[in-house]
Structure 1
Amino acid sequence: MGGATTALADRLREGCESVARGLSRADDRGGWAAVAADCQRLVDIAAAVQDRAVAEVARREVVETEDGTLSEVVHLPGVVTLDAADLLAPALGASHAQAQRRVDSAVRLAAQRRPHPAGRPGLPAGTGFAGLHAAMLDGRLDPRRADLVVEELAEAPGEVAEAVVAVLDPFLGRDDGPTLRRRCRRAIARISPDLLRERSRRARGECGLRRWAGEPGVDVWQGVFPSEQAARAWAAIDGLAHDHVAAGRCTTLEQARGQALTDLVVGNASVEVVVHVAVPDDGVGDAGDPRGAGADRADVLEADAEGADADGGDAERRDAKGWHPAPAARSASVDDARERLVQVHGLLPGEPALVDGRWLAERTPAEAPVVCDRTTGARVDVGATHATPAYRPSRALADLVRARDGRCRFPGCSVAARSCDLDHVRPWPGGPTSADNLLCLCRRHHRVKQRPGWSLRLLRGAVAVWRDPTGRERTTHPPDVLETVVLTTPADAPTWHPSAPVEPVGRFSVLESTVDVLSDRRPRPVVLDLRHGRCRHRRVSRRAAWSGANDPPPF
């Protein structure tokens, strides 16, 4: 089967290249646009076939028979085995979360069933998405818009979803994503208004805030809030942002909103930042040099941000995390750190972060350094002082392993270490309860490790080597806290002034994002203008406050 699809892919590639060569550079835009459209149709068809393959992988499971041999069991369509996403992730070039979403979508579209975990009682329920999968096979619907409709109808009974898809079918080949979403919601409101109400209730119950690493030196936050709370919070942020712009503290309103948000949050919380120097494990030097014999690798600073303790229990936390006595860490000058970005660890789970050198220099380093493996930069338990003959690790050992790993150590998983189990790589009591035999695994991948066909080895320096039932090996590494990155801005570097965004923001195009920012530069009072139906609670005219001759739309 795999060889046949590989040969077909090669023939398709050769055919597409032949068509492209047949079009000379002198051909008009229409010819090239037709090639792009035909290629998109091929992509849509290939995605539908791939969905079928993903759904088939998902319902197949490797089990151990009574005689100890491994055998494959094929479940009903719609059943999803525990390790399906992790088996597919390397083939798709995806993280665990991305592969899990891919499996979920493929099962709903190709198998036309709701994902049903293997081993759970009951049968997979129908989704009513046969029309969507057929449109993809026809080359009329791309995966992105198909997933959009699936998202809108995820909780709908199969017969309701089938009726909505039938209404959408004439438009699948021509509507863009936002238009298709609006058309889908109108159809749901007509066919099953109770479903729309239930979806709104569920969405409000799933509100929350997420954070991950963005471009170097910045984080990305994504928040989903109840509309009425979001409106009040946005008004407060927007009002303070206009003050920042008026006072010259920020250049753009969008930048000022970010500053206003952090000002409001930090101004109402108590946060303690503890800085530690990381040193290699080949010895702590004498004469006050914490780098010792490992001076060939420069020391870096690690920052742990956590809520301040009322009792100021710094000593207890240092002892719990396994930090060892050492000469006082070096101090840094605020002047020396001007216009520098310095890489630190500990602000994000398993991710390095670039921070302002002046901000870092204002913090006093802790007295004890963090000792790390000189090859991988992973934290080490010098002399195995925290090892224990018991099954459960001590608090100090658990804190050390979690700080070393940062996150779940399964390939592609980003669950923070604080939410993970500590797993014995070699089962206890055959394997010791020590840093060299403990690893952070989220609950799901803790179970995957125990599935037939999976194996794990933990090498020196906390390097983890995974092997899946197909024989593929993947390696994960701990964060290298000895890695040194210091970015200094040259004295003659021009000052950068941000302007209106030139990249799309969220769901909006470049034009929409730019117009939104330009229109937000108008002076405005911090008053909410609430409307619903024919009622208007309060209205404040903003037009009178603006007399510019070059207003961007809306005018």
Structure 2
Amino acid sequence: MFEQLVGGTDTRPSSFERALSTALLDHPRPLVVEVVHPDPAVGWEYVPVRGGGTGHRPAGQDSAPDDLADLRDVLDAGIDHLQRAAAATRAIARLSAVVATSLAEFARCRPSESFDRQPGEQGAMSAATRNARPAALSEVSEWAVDEVAPSLRVTSTAAGVQLAESVVLVDRLPGTLALLARGELTPAHARQMVNVVGPVEDDGLRADIEAHVLGLLDRKTPPQLGDCARRIVLRKDADAAARKLVTAVRERGVRLHDRRDGTATVSLDLPLPSAAAIYRALETYAEDARADGDERTKQQRMADCVQDLILRPGENGMPPVTVALTLVATLETMLGGAEPGQVEGMLVPAEMVRELGYTFGLMPRPAPDVAGLSDGGDGDGAPAGPECETSSDPDPAPPPRSGPAPAPAPVQDRALDEWLALARARNEAAVQEGLAGAEQAILDGTWVDGELRALLDVGALIGVRDLAGTGLAHRPRIAVVDRLRGSLIALTDAAGIRRGAGLGPPPATDGYTPGAELERFVRMRDRRCRFPGCRARARSCDLDHRREWPDGPTAHDNLWCLCEHHHRLKHQAPGWRFEEADDGGLAITTPSGEVLVSHPPRFGTDLDIPPF
């Protein structure tokens, strides 16, 4: 809805912009040109240039300067530069494969059993240091890193990371190495594969996952490829993912990093739900702190709020804030399946999804056994429907009605409320019983540290119950999904399912601004900015009309999410075209003539485009 962003400003293109657009559209391979901003003190006028189109010159100048380039020459020159950069990027990828292979071979020439003192010998590496080393370097001499660092002119820490990544890439991910050697993916893509797929222990499973992920590479950016790989690993290696979750949560902490410019970075490692809640709370505080004349950016205000909240508690007068987190999970996950879920659009293991479901009363927690450690049994109830989405964004109050008062809530609605209340009560009782059992198990010495025995273990580590005042702002919504295509069909709730209502997209809105249900549906469908590779979350995006209103309706099939930057790009940047693709996706034509097609991310599938 960019028209509202610009308010009362005149958005009509100038004569120069119209001429530039004409030249770009007529050119077989258009490219962005540099637009010179005129000096307001001088003024500009637009004149014809060689080859058609218009140029610009200071007002009063009789002829265009000799060095005024022909627009088409500029376009072609820009394309040549871009192609040269792309070729160099592929060459860098091929050389990166050479570096990785060489470092892996070097590591084989430095076996720890030949170069290092063995455990138990005087002067040997301590057990703590040995355990902290990357698993890929467990059989490599501890001194190998000290050879790599000066040779590559990097720090010892960076050398250790690069050496470990090279060993994993060469020894465990041959398919990724082959694509890197051919220049078909970048070192950043390979690093995502090393970090996400490389740790899978089973050789056959790892090879299967690698082939699956690389088959979906297409035009993914490194973060997109990492998300795709993470989803597949979480699904196919769920047990290992659960163990890694427990290990990661136990390693939570606060760390200080010197940036060497008089500032420092404080990093806070927490379970994702808690970290997301903290971040959203800081966003709210920062928004409340904005005042007229305040030139601080949002990030600067968030940083200042952290200082005030921690260093001056009670002195800043900041009121408590309410944040909203969105949980997306399949019904199968809630019932014990391995399909990962999402919190704020970020993948989380199925174990964490179920723990959040228990905590917020979405389903009753299975009772723990006598030792306080359950056998991992599944819950005995869950919201119906293929996908369950919860968000604490409150619904707007309905408009006043005329005529008779509305009928009382259906019996089914009251029954659902009673069921949720009972589930929350059972959850709290199970929590208290389980924690008591865990405490007794520790006292009895029967608690096995490091072994994932129950969802309760994860819950206790996650600490979601320590978030005071958390809960559902409204009943869960159910996303009805086409299981074959993975596309969103409807966004309703359990009561709507029972009544047979709402099993389709919300109706169009009469007017420019979409209604609450329509807006919620579009944001849930897109989940991120629809510009290819953009990671901006839908909640912070604008809803843009594909065909400008009122020529196009305010309807689900004429709306898509665009972040502010790409919304401005659509309306302002010369040479870009945003159109509807033949398959219903968003087709974006770049100034160089390349067409990028974007579709909403699929539910429960790794495909980025419709399978047919």
TM-score normalised according to structure 2 size: 0.36
Q: Relative CO higher for 1 or 2, CA cutoff 8 Å, sep ≥ 6?
A: 2
Bigger proportion of residues as helix: 2
